Structure 1
Amino acid sequence: MADIAPLRNLRAQCLCTRSSLTFAVPISSLPLRTHFCHCSICRHTHGTLCTIHAFISPPAFNPDTFTTYKSSIATRYFCSTCGAHMMDYGEGNWCLATSLVEGDDENLWKFTEHIFLDATGDGGVGGLLDEINGSKLDKWKERDESSGEWMPSPSSSQSTSSSTALQASCYCKGVQFSISRPTPNTHDPAPENLTPTDRNKWFAVFCFCTSCRLASGCAIMPWTFLTTDAITLLDGSPYRPVFGTAKLYESSRGIARTFCGTCGATLAYHTDERPGMVDIAVGLLETKNSLDRGWLEWRTHRLAKEEDAVWHGLKSSLKEGLRKLKD
């Protein structure tokens, strides 16, 4: 009788804890190859600038706690209560949101490549992450090496900086709105640490907090901080937290998160501590370049809640990439 390969059992769970899954991995297969996907579908179904996924064996889960959304070749599974994207199924393969796996063992994952970087214009997060834990990440224009290596172009630093309004939407278009460019006085209600030096832009950060990771399904959550009067809904009405297909989840006292109830995209973060302001998921923005530095001023000297990071190699590499962005 052939020897049975020893297995390691792993568990992933969302923010609200209502949705979870378990799966087994042969110990000999560890670390699992893990990729960063930058396609426009992932960005607009998650609200993030990328997803961090690995292929796994069929997981065990309760389908009653999930909502499914079919996009292109994959069916996406997200928590019906808090919106966390946990896995995709397509072409006979299960693809896991690795950021949701319990524990902080970065050695479970071998970060190997960025894919679909052509969809970002400027490279997005892929342009900031060249290596993790000393291992170089491949950068492909589309799905794999057959598409060719992605290289930044001179035009990738350009953006929609001359426009006066910026469109935003989730993938299914159940949530759509426009954002107006700030004026110098727009930022007066904002705390000093959320105010850009260029007051004609909106401030943006990458957040590593546990709640954002578990709500979005991605360890890197990009937010931009807007005043609510800068947002106009598709029907011309002023901003309100729940509109279109948006659903609201109160993650803690005084804090509400919204996501699309149809495609699962993370939409916004509201806190009672900042009335008149709302944090909008950057992955929703319909821009030529993912980082769109003509509209957004990214904080480059530190990440938000970086002390919560479970993958320290990823955190360190992103911080280094942001320092280069500043230069």
Structure 2
Amino acid sequence: MAAPTKTLTAACHCRNVQFTITLPTASLPLNINLCHCTICRYVHGAPCCFHAPLPVGVDLEFIAPSSMDQLTSYTHPSFQSTKWFCTNCGCHIGDQSLTDVEWVISTSIFDANREEEGVWKFQTHYCPGSAADGGLSSVFSTVDGHQLRMIDPEPAPASQVAGTEEGEGEGDRDEDEDLLAQCHCGGVSFRIARPRDEFIASSASTGWLSPIDPKRWLASMDVCDDCRLVTGTNVIGWMFVPVDHVSPRPPADLLIGSSKGYRSTEDVLRTFCGTCGATVLYWCAERPQIVDVATGLLRAREGVMAEKWAVWRANRPAWPENGLRYHGGFSRALIEGMKRWGTERGHAQEFVVP
């Protein structure tokens, strides 16, 4: 008698990439590792990635007309795997080992991700020491009552990681002047200025600055379905910046360097790096002078949360109902953790994006 199995379906936002995996039920739950390393942050544009290794011999079965042809690959001499993302919308689907072709899959794009289904188990904060503040590993340490392990292997030298010639190691540059945002391959790179005095004094600043510190930009975590399916991660952070405070100033199509554009709806334009797949910018017609910058690209010396530059909304992420429906355990851990972290760190409990 054949061993029982469970088949899961995955798809990116544009649905150009759709596939199934068939797992032996004896292998479940699969362990989710939240990787905070600089590679994963700069490749996804998110605070971390959400990956699980598939059992040996389990492969992706593409749903026609979807195939590997709809994916772009990215690798680098420092990598032990090839990273794959949708060529059209930028969604990362996972990494394939260079040595044994086994998959480490992005768990955030599957139809089955609710904790009660018993498919996945949040297991590890991996590489939390890759940034000074620990990123989300300092925000929460348990999911569904399970204590996540902290694993911090020896990091690769900065010289082996693409895109790190500037950023954490920018030498004598005065970070108070501007902040670098850059994807892993370096194909998308720009700088963000602090709120200028004329902007602070103008009506254009209404709603976009916090009374806590008008020299920092507002920022928020986001767990909406659309962001999840264009990044391949359960959460992304956004920092809200006027277009004229970005240098070089993005053109109307927002395409900086190796960027590609994707419209998730008629009035929403998103960009990602066409080379490494990093989410870069979000723009919507309701507020055309503001762009949301993916915080995983920020090269702030103080860490992932870029606290010298951002005032975070601690009370809630954007679209919490989406996150709670998709995986309540993770979303509750994030929401409760951000409230606690924000109180301790002096961030805004609430604000409404205009």
CA distance in 2, matches of 1:195, 1:316: 27
Question: Within 5 Å, which residues of 2 pair with 1:1-327?
Answer: 3-56=1-54, 57-61=58-62, 62-71=67-76, 72-90=79-97, 91-92=99-100, 93-106=102-115, 107-142=118-153, 163-183=176-196, 185-186=198-199, 188-189=203-204, 192=207, 194-197=208-211, 198-233=213-248, 238-240=249-251, 241-288=254-301, 289-309=303-323, 310-325=326-341, 326-327=343-344
Contact 1:115/1:143 (<8 A) preserved: no
Instruction: Report if aligned partners of 1:246, 1:260 keep a CA contact under 8 Å in 2.
Output: yes
Equivalent pairs counted in the alignment come to: 305
Q: What TM-score, normalized by structure 1, do the two folds share?
A: 0.89
Deviation at 1:9, TM superposition (A): 0.6
Match of 2:350 in 1: none
Query: Greater CA deviation, 101-110 or 72-81?
Result: 101-110
Counterpart-to-counterpart distance in 2, 1:257 and 1:305: 17
Q: In structure 1, how many angstroms separate the alpha carbons of the residues matched to 2:126 and 2:154?
A: 5
Percent same amino acid among aligned pairs?
33
Conserved 8 A contact 1:184-1:199:
no
Instruction: Report the alpha carbon displacement of residue 186 of structure 1 after superposing the two structures with TM.
Output: 2.9
Distance change >3 Å, CA 218–CA 295, structure 1 → 2:
same
Q: What SS does the aligned partner of 1:199 have?
A: strand
User: Contact 1:247–1:261 (CA<8 Å) still a contact in 2?
Assistant: yes
Aligned CA distance change for structure 1 residues 317 and 184 (closer, same or farther; 3 Å) = farther
Deviations 1:179-200 (A, max 9, x none): 11113553643563x5323111
Between 1:43-52 and 1:59-68, the stretch displaced more is: 59-68
Runs of 4+ in 1 over 2 A off after TM superposition: 103-107, 183-192, 194-197
Quick check: 1:78–1:87 contact (8 Å CA) kept in 2?
A: yes
- Please say if residues 35 and 115 of structure 1, whose CA atoms lie closer than 8 Å, have aligned partners that are also in contact: yes
SS at match of 1:58: coil
Q: Distance in 2 between matches of 1:229 and 1:35?
A: 38
Structure 1 residues without counterparts, runs of 5 or longer: 145-159
Give the deviation of 1:141 after TM superposition: 1.9
**Which runs of 5 or more residues in structure 2 are unaligned?**
156-172, 345-354
